[in-house]
Structure 1
Amino acid sequence: MHDFLDDGDGWRTELLTWRRLPDETLVTLFRVVAPREWYLERLRTVDSIDRFETAPGDDAFYLKAYERLGGPLETFFDAFVDTEFLSVPPVVYRSGGRLSFGLIGPPNQLRDVLSAVPDPIDVTVERVGSYGGRRLAGANLTERQREALCAARRVGYYDVPRSGSVADVAEAIECSPSTAGAHLRKGEAALVDTYLDG
């Protein structure tokens, strides 16, 4: 299904909640931002999906799926079994096989969790800190856009009144002002889209 998301611009699935049943079935509720019929046609080819139900949404649709656990997916979930971590929804599946989500839990358990994640899955920790409320896990930012936004905040570009400029951002991330401006505009647009669609 990750491969399917590569077919469209901005297509994604947002895992809103889930439950692991005693019979090792994973029940999930997704919000899907992709063409419904094409998505369901592809979903029907996934062997581990036993059944699913859908409901309409405004610019997306909702999917409740029943999936048999096994392989890397089960190993991934098992990495969190004996920890105090809680996932902060949504868990966002995006193109390129990427998955974004937030966790709340004791920092001293993080290293053990990361070492238990199965080898086919690469993990990048983007931020460690105190929980500050809703995070936009689904924002589809490139690394350079994220770097530009972080630099902009550091140099005061988002202060009121503004104390930093696009040139300051460009200097911080070592690129031209026009490139820095483009990274900022695209990153800001992705954040706004994710917030308003959420």
Structure 2
Amino acid sequence: MRYVRVNFTFPPSVRHPMHGFLDEGDGWRTELLTWRRLPDETLATLFRVVAPRDTYLDRLRSVDSIERFETAPGDDAFYLLAYERLGGPLERFLRAFDDTEFLSVPPIVYRSGGRLSFGLIGPPDQLRDALSAVPDPIGVEIERIGSYGGGRRLAGVDLTGRQREAIRAGRRVGYYDVPRTGSVADVAEAINCASSTAGAHLRKAEAALVDAFLDGDRSRPRHESG
């Protein structure tokens, strides 16, 4: 199976109001866990929301396209089941993948700055047509194409380019071998920086990966409505 990870950027002119809301808080995000198009064309979506619940819901009530919603508590977030009728570029964005064989690998992660990240499994020969159907001015960046190996794909991990470079170098030089055969100094040499800098890149990247894994490994939503 072929795996594709894609990053999209939605400028303010085509950004969903609740996606724009994420710009107001540090580390706020939403994770789209599953969705279904109902017979009447309503889109039913289940989100995990990392943002202040009351503030988020107050804003949600002001969005005209939202017909109704329910919530359930989580450990450090909450779950939102929303029913919505989209239109315009956001509807065309979803439709770009309707006639393909792609399956998404959840979560689809929304972050500040209009950023959206998710993985897809499907035939690479359909990728160009699907991405060409994404409406302007939504930005598209293919981050990875390769074989799908199963397990958790942390689409929402927000690493810098140097952090990614450091952990990739760490794998090459044996820093992540058990037992370890490479050192921080080896990573530093591979990415041409000081050992202290390489160590900082590795620690920050590892912390982000651990946080994202644990966030995604929380219990499933409880059947309580708000």
TM bucket (normalised to shorter chain) is over 0.9
The aligned runs of 1:1-198 (5 Å cut-off) are: 1-133=18-150, 134-198=152-216
- Comparing both chains, which one has the higher relative contact order based on Cα–Cα distances under 8 Å and sequence gaps of 6 or more? 2
Q: Secondary structure at the match of 2:146?
A: coil
Could you tell me how far 1:165 is from its partner in structure 2?
A: 2.3
Could you tell me how far 1:170 is from its partner in structure 2?
A: 2.6
Q: Secondary structure at the match of 1:129?
A: strand
Say what the alpha-carbon RMSD is for the aligned residues.
1.5
What residue identity is the alignment partner of 1:164?
A: G
- Checking the alignment, whether the CA contact within 8 Å between 1:24 and 1:69 is kept in structure 2 is no
What residue identity is the alignment partner of 2:64?
A: D
Could you tell me how far 1:98 is from its partner in structure 2?
A: 0.9
What residue identity is the alignment partner of 2:126?
A: Q
TM-score w.r.t. the length of structure 1 is 0.93
TM-score w.r.t. the length of structure 2 is 0.82
Distance 2:167 2:47 in 1: 29
Distance 1:25 1:135 in 2: 28
Distance 1:3 1:73 in 2: 13
Could you tell me how far 1:169 is from its partner in structure 2?
A: 2.3
Deviations 1:10-48 (A, max 9, x none): 221110100112322211000111110011112122222
Q: Secondary structure at the match of 2:76?
A: coil
What residue identity is the alignment partner of 2:172?
A: R
Could you tell me how far 1:185 is from its partner in structure 2?
A: 0.7
Identity of aligned residues (%): 83
- Checking the alignment, whether the CA contact within 8 Å between 1:16 and 1:31 is kept in structure 2 is yes
Could you tell me how far 1:83 is from its partner in structure 2?
A: 0.7
Q: Secondary structure at the match of 2:63?
A: coil
Distance 1:72 1:149 in 2: 36
What residue identity is the alignment partner of 2:74?
A: G
Gaps of 5+ in 2: 1-17, 217-226
Q: Secondary structure at the match of 2:135?
A: coil
Gaps of 5+ in 1: none
Specify whether residues 2 and 177 from structure 1 end up closer, same or farther in structure 2 by C-alpha distance, changes over 3 A only. Answer: farther
Distance 2:65 2:213 in 1: 32
